[in-house]
Structures are given as structure tokens and as C-alpha cells.
Structure 1
Amino acid sequence: MNQEKHNPKVASMLSIIPGLGQIYNRRFLKGTIFFLLFFAFIMTFYQFLNIGYWGLFTLGEVPRLDDSRVLLAQGIISLIITGFALTFYVLNLMDAYKDAVKLQKGYRPNSLREGFKDGWDKSFPYLLVGPGLFLLVFVVVFPLLFMVFLAFTDYNLYNSPPRNLLNWVGLDNFTSLLTVPIWRSTFLSVLSWTIIWTLVATTLQIALALILAIFVNDPRIKFKKIIRTVLILPWAVPGFVTILIFAALFNNDFGAINRDILIPLFGQAIPWMTDPFWAKIALIGIQVWLGFPFVFAIFTGILQSISKDWYEAADMDGASSWQKFRNITFPHIMFATAPLLIMQYAGNFNNFNIIYLFNQGGPAVRGQNAGGTDILISWVYNLTFETQNYNMAAAISIIIGLVIATFAFYQFRRTRSFKEEM
């Protein structure tokens, strides 16, 4: 065959049926394997994909016979399988085109042994990450997609399969959060408290950790190891144990804080569990106690890595303690820990454990379907497992994901450590 007449476009066109382009390029074994894989895929998944896409668009037609949840799950799996198939299909087209270009330029096709060796060298990393990718798709991506699709349906306690069929409702669930009075008031109240909770609790725990780390790192402080050990102890105790202990301490009736401290000193107890304001104060205090030891340990390591020569040079220039903190200590700490601190904010935004274990998001608030201390994630939990408002819970979950992703991406882009990695 004349090498100059070997046309890459012809190879690409033939590869519309996988394998034919490779055969045209005289890669007979590869072409045969590609064609057999293509044929096996059609024979194996045709019926599954057919039902999957039908179910995804219709969500069933006969109540009690068609389960919309199963059809939705099969439709999502069909989308994932189609995504893998399209990836393979595009790679098949690119492979045929690239081989044709090489042949046109006079390259000799690899022998069978060379082809296997070359393929093994190129595919070995993908073989290593393949099982992890497979698990990621079906353990993380599939449930996430299922949740996203539920947000556009009418799946709730009163319209539950298989007795009823689900219907696509578009953006109705999202508009209900802003137009229906009970949903609007609850959503705005919970969202505002979630933002306040995230900013105040996280900022306080970081500030406390920074102050303690600076004080303990001062050369005049003795017994540093003992002090650091004591300050890190709250981190060593399991979080749920600490939260349950604090829930008992803050109990209105028998809690030690009211019984042994406030009543003897001031003659009055504080309704920690029944008043939303005081419950929020208690939660912020507990989170500061739980969160500062970890940040303290990080800051302590950073402070010990800062060269003492810089502080000596600053002393020679007559710098004050505040100037040394502002120009040496603080920039170094933020540069090294900014991504980690951002994740502290993101973690507290979704800190379900402390809200649920302390008082299950209570107390109840009139005119709302969420508790006085519920944050978005605990509200989603209640909507899912207590009132079975799956569609609204899914819609709120999407909003949570978008808020966290936007905030984290924006802050990461602004940090110097991220920019230097780029």
C-alpha cells in the first residue's frame, strides 16, 4: 500500500464502527478486539439501556407495577454506562486517526509483541486507578446523581412508589423554597443560622487556637510539653462522647452548669435546651472546644518552623510585638494553613454530629418545619428520615453542595499556596 495515500480521514470514518479503522491501518488484532468489544456491548446492554432511558424519561406508566425509584436508578446507571461507552468510542476514533497519520508519514506498524508491550506500558497506570475509579463512580457519583434527579421530582410521603408514580416537576421544588411561606421562612431562617454558625464558631476556634499557640510558643513559657498535651486532650476524646457530656451539662433540669454554677451564683437558670438563642450560644461554645485543639496543633508546628533570625532582625529594626505578628507570624501561618482553614469552614457548614447529638436541632419553632438550631444538613436529615420530603431534601442538598463548592473554590483560588502550586 502506498503510504502517502493512506488517509487518516478514511480511518476515522471507518472507525464509526469500532475496529474497522484499525483494520484499515493494518492493526488487525486491535481492530478485531475493538469490534468484538463493540458487538458484545451492544448485545449485552441494549435491552438494559433501552429500559433505562425509557424509565428515566417516563418514570413508569403503571402504578404498583412500575417502581419509579428503580427506573430512575436504572436510568442513571444507563447514563453512566453510556458515558464509559462514549469515552471508549472517542478513544477508538482518535486511535484510528493517530495510527493513520503515522502510517502516512512512513512509520512502520508495531509488531504484535511490540504492540502488547506498548499497550501495557501506557495502560498500566489506568489499571491501577481503575478499581478506585469504578468504586468512586458507583459509591459516590451514582448516589449523588440519584439525589440530583430526585430534586426535580415530586417524591414525598404522600406520593411514594410503588403505590404512586413519580413525576418530573422541573424547578418547582426550588421555587417552593422561595415562594411557599412555610418553606421560605424556614429556609431563610436555617440558611442564616447556618452561615452565622459557620463563620462565628469556626472563626472563634481558629482565633483561640492561634492565641494559645502564640502564647505557648513564647520563649518565656515553661513546661511547654505539658501545656501542649493538656490543650490537645479535647482532640483525643471522641467527639460524640464530648457532645453527649456537654448535652448533660447544659440540661435545663439537672445540668451541672445551671445547678452548680448559675443558680448558686446568680439565682437563675438559663434555658439552654428550650430557648433557641441560648441553645445556639451553647452549640458555638461546644464547637470552639471541640475544634480548637486540632488547629492549635497545626499552628504550633508552623510557629516552630519560623526562623528565629527573622524575629531577631525585626527586634534590631525596632519592631513592636504587633508588627512582628502582622508581618512575620500571621503571613507564615496563613500561607501554610489557608487551604486547611478553608476546609474547617466547609466542615462546620455541614457539621451534622454536634447539632443532632446535642439537641436534635431543637427546640421547635412556630411556623417552621425545622428546629431552632437546625443547620441545613440537619434539616435535610429531618426532611429525609422523619417527614419523608425526599424531593425538598434533595433540592436543599444541591444548594448546600453549590454553596460549599463555590466558597471553597473561590477561597482556594485566592490563597497564595494554591497559586504557587499552579
Structure 2
Amino acid sequence: MSDQIVKRKGHNPKVAMVLSILFAGLGQLYNRRILKGIVFLIIQAAFLITFYNFINIGLWGIVTLGEIPKIDHSIFLLIQGLVSIIIVAFALALYFFNIVDARRDAIKLQEGAKIPTVTEAFKNAWDVGFPYILVMPGLVLLIFIVVLPLLFMVSLAFTDYNLYNSPPRNLLNWVGFDNFVNLVSVDIWQSTFFSVFSWTIVWTVVATTGQIVLGLFLALLVNDSRIKFKRFIRTFLILPWAVPAFVTILVFAAMFNDKFGAINKDILSQIGVMIPWMTDPFWAKIALISIQTWLGFPFVFALFTGVLQSISKDWYEAADVDGGTRFQKFRHITLPHVLYATAPLLIMQYAGNFNNFNIIYLFNDGGPAVRGQNAGGTDILISWVYDLTFTTNNYNMAAAISIIIGLLVSGFAFYQFRRTRSFKEEGNI
């Protein structure tokens, strides 16, 4: 027994690591983990035989984007290159695990640990790896359904892919940050970008704040003890939420029509006023903000109504004893409780409206047109991206703007969530 332990102390983890680096599985064979070593050997051999040509062409393609027009398709090469990078990342992770596993087993053997039998090794691997086995299919789908399209979009932002330079007739080229520079330097892109970006900010802040304020105001009114028929009123106020949004938007688009819409023809005409809701950018923006306030307040109203009913009346009674006014009770009791409970959802309202494509597209398709710009007067960033992609085929600029949108929304949401309790660990609240 002592000789066996001496031999194991002479077992060198560095040798196991070097062998695993040379070829996956050799370190496991050195550790006398025969089955595990054979599995790693088969996996690496199968990987090299199956994917060598695919990865070789993919990595060449993503670097060059092709060399012969009409034969090399830059888009296909780009996608193949991205898939190759993902496959290589998986392979490197498994390769690294193979090295770490060989070193860990070698250290255990050096310390005199018993070599497990095949049955014991399989049972241990199943116990440890069971959660990963369940997670892996979803992870793979997530990578190829979500991550791959995102990587493709990000890649297009650094190419010259547009209507006049599209494969297979032409080859794409990597242009670095030229598309981002053009957004803020070339006249038509600069004026359009800053105009659309400023309106997107105004739209997000005003429309979302409007629906939150209206929802809070109505929730406070309905929650008042003097109000009767509360159930009926709450049901009535939530009805706009029950109607599909696209139906409501199309109805409002007809109502705001300059010529035959009910708002101009039946209401404003009574006082001799006709407002160009669809042809003037300013009035179109007013209409859009009004519609979004109508669409968004029922959700906020329902949210605030539930929170208001959970606030203890003892707080208000104590405030009455101290001589607190209605405004003071609202400021120091109601509002903090409401915001405390709903802050993450309210943040998501702002983030959602920042990318609220439906209302802009369905109401007037981002119109009316504005001279000197390649976006409509009410286009926000996301609807502008849609037009650049499907109307003018400026894929590179659309991808660049999409990256900016993603960074803005994710940065704002992450910063605000960090300031609320939603991201704090239990016990540190």
C-alpha cells in the first residue's frame, strides 16, 4: 500500500497538463482515467475532422469578406465566419476544461486518491453535470437564435453594405467606425440623426411621464374613500388596455385624419378650427403623445391601484394626528410607497416607449416628410432603422443606429435598476 502511495506522489500534474494541451484526452489517459480520456480523444478528433474546412473558410471569410465578386458572397462568408467563431469558442471551452480536469485528477492521484471505477466515474459525472445537461440545449438555442443575429447586426455596422454595394455583385469591405462618424459629420445624416434622436428622447420622456401621471392621478381618485362604484370605474378605466393596441392606433389614425377625421370634422370644426394632424410634424407629434398616453395609462392605473390598496391606513391616521395636509401625506406616504413598489416596471415603461415602433408605424408611418432629412417628421430611432433597412436598404447605417439604440436602452435600464432594490442581494437591502 505504501509503494502504491509513493507512486502516486510521483505522479506529475504538469505532465498531465502538457499531454492534454498536445491533444485532448492524453492527460486523462496518463491519469489512468481511460474512459474519460477516450471520450475526449473522440470529441477532439471528430471536431477536427468535421469542422476543419468549415472553420478554415469561415475565419478566412470573416477577415476578407471574399476576394472574387459574383463568386464570393460576403454575407454568407460573414455568417459562416460568425458561426465558426461560436464553434471555436465552444471547442476552446471544452479544451480548457480538458486541461483543468487532467490537472485536477493528477493532483488527486498525487495525494493518493483512489481511481474511480467506470460506474463510479459515470455516476459522479452525472451528478455533477446533470444541471448543465439540462441547461445546454437552451443555451445552444439562445446562442444561435439571439446571439448570432446580434453579432451579425453588429458586424454590418462596420461594413459598407448598402443598396449600391451589395453582394454577390459587389464585395463588402470592413470600414471600421466610418458609419458612426458619418452619422455625426455628413450633413444629411447629421441633421437627420440629431433631429430623430432629440424627438425620440422627447417622445420617451413626455409620453411615458404622461401615462404615468394620468394613471397615478386616476388611481388616487378611485382610491378615495368618498368615491362609490369603485369596481365599475376601475373596470371602465382598464377597458382601453383590453382592446388590442394596433386596433386602437388605427382607429385614432382615422379620427385624426385632416380631411375626414372625427376630431377635425365633428369637433374642432364647430369652433372653426382645422388642425393638420397628419401633415404638420408638430401636430403629428402632439397626436402621437396623446394616443400613447391613452394606450399606456390603464396598465399604470391598474398597477398603482393595487399598490395604493396595500398601504396601511395607520400611516394616514398618524399623519392626521400630526396635522399633515393632503399634499404632505401624498408626498411623504403615498408617493414613496408607490414608487418603491413599482420602480422597475416604470423604468421598463420608459425603455419600452423608447423602442415603441408600433404606434409610429401604424399611425402615419413616421410621416410627414421633412426636407433635407431621410427620416419622417415623427420617426423615432427604431422606426428610422426600419425605413433604412426595408425602404432605402442602408443596412450598414441601420446597424450602426441599432447599436446606439441598444447601448442607450441597456445603459439607462441597467443604471436605473441598480438604483432600485431589484438588483440588490437579499440581506443587503
The TM-score, its normalising length taken from structure 2, stands at: 0.96
Corresponding residue SS for 2:116? coil
In the alignment, what sits opposite 1:189? 195
Q: CA deviation at 1:356?
A: 0.3
Question: How do 1:310-349 and structure 2 match up within 5 A?
Answer: 310-349=315-354
Percentage of pairs with the same residue: 71
Q: CA contact under 8 A between 1:204 and 1:288: conserved in structure 2?
A: yes
Q: Count residues in correspondence.
A: 421
- 2-side partners of 1:331 and 1:9: how far apart? 60
Q: Find out whether 1:353 has 2:354 as its counterpart.
A: no
Q: Find out whether 1:119 has 2:125 as its counterpart.
A: yes
Q: Deviations over 1:192-227 (max 9, x none)?
A: 000000011011111111111121112221111111
Corresponding residue SS for 1:210? helix
Q: CA deviation at 1:357?
A: 0.2
Q: CA deviation at 1:100?
A: 1.9
User: 1:7 is matched by which residue type in structure 2?
Assistant: N
In the alignment, what sits opposite 2:206? 200
Of 237, 260, 277, which aligns to 1:231? 237
Of 371, 375, 394, which aligns to 2:380? 375
In the alignment, what sits opposite 2:249? 243
In the alignment, what sits opposite 2:389? 384
Q: CA contact under 8 A between 1:383 and 1:389: conserved in structure 2?
A: yes
- 1-side partners of 2:272 and 2:343: how far apart? 45
- 2-side partners of 1:419 and 1:255: how far apart? 50
Q: Which runs of 5+ in 2 are unaligned?
A: none
Q: Which runs of 5+ in 1 are unaligned?
A: none
User: 2:118 is matched by which residue type in structure 1?
Assistant: L
Q: Deviations over 1:106-157 (max 9, x none)?
A: 2223221121112112222122222221211111111111010000111000
Corresponding residue SS for 2:38? helix
Q: CA contact under 8 A between 1:60 and 1:165: conserved in structure 2?
A: yes
Q: CA deviation at 1:298?
A: 1.2
Q: Find out whether 1:99 has 2:131 as its counterpart.
A: no
- 1-side partners of 2:96 and 2:324: how far apart? 63
Q: Which stretch shows the higher mean deviation, 252-261 or 104-113?
A: 104-113
Of 129, 135, 149, which aligns to 2:141? 135
In the alignment, what sits opposite 1:307? 312
Q: Find out whether 1:366 has 2:371 as its counterpart.
A: yes
- 1-side partners of 2:340 and 2:164: how far apart? 52
Q: CA deviation at 1:414?
A: 1.0
Q: CA deviation at 1:420?
A: 4.7
Q: Deviations over 1:322-344 (max 9, x none)?
A: 22222222122212211111111
User: 1:350 is matched by which residue type in structure 2?
Assistant: N
In the alignment, what sits opposite 1:70? 76
- 2-side partners of 1:316 and 1:109: how far apart? 76
Supply the RMSD in Å over aligned alpha carbons. 1.2
Of 172, 180, 188, which aligns to 1:174? 180
Q: Find out whether 1:259 has 2:265 as its counterpart.
A: yes
Q: CA contact under 8 A between 1:335 and 1:417: conserved in structure 2?
A: no
Corresponding residue SS for 1:273? coil
Q: 1:131 to 1:351 in 2, by over 3 A?
A: same
Q: CA deviation at 1:94?
A: 1.6
In the alignment, what sits opposite 2:14? 9
- 2-side partners of 1:298 and 1:125: how far apart? 36
User: 1:373 is matched by which residue type in structure 2?
Assistant: T
Of 152, 155, 159, which aligns to 1:153? 159
Q: CA contact under 8 A between 1:272 and 1:279: conserved in structure 2?
A: yes
- 1-side partners of 2:317 and 2:134: how far apart? 51
User: 2:33 is matched by which residue type in structure 1?
Assistant: R
In the alignment, what sits opposite 2:297? 292
In the alignment, what sits opposite 1:54? 60
In the alignment, what sits opposite 1:214? 220
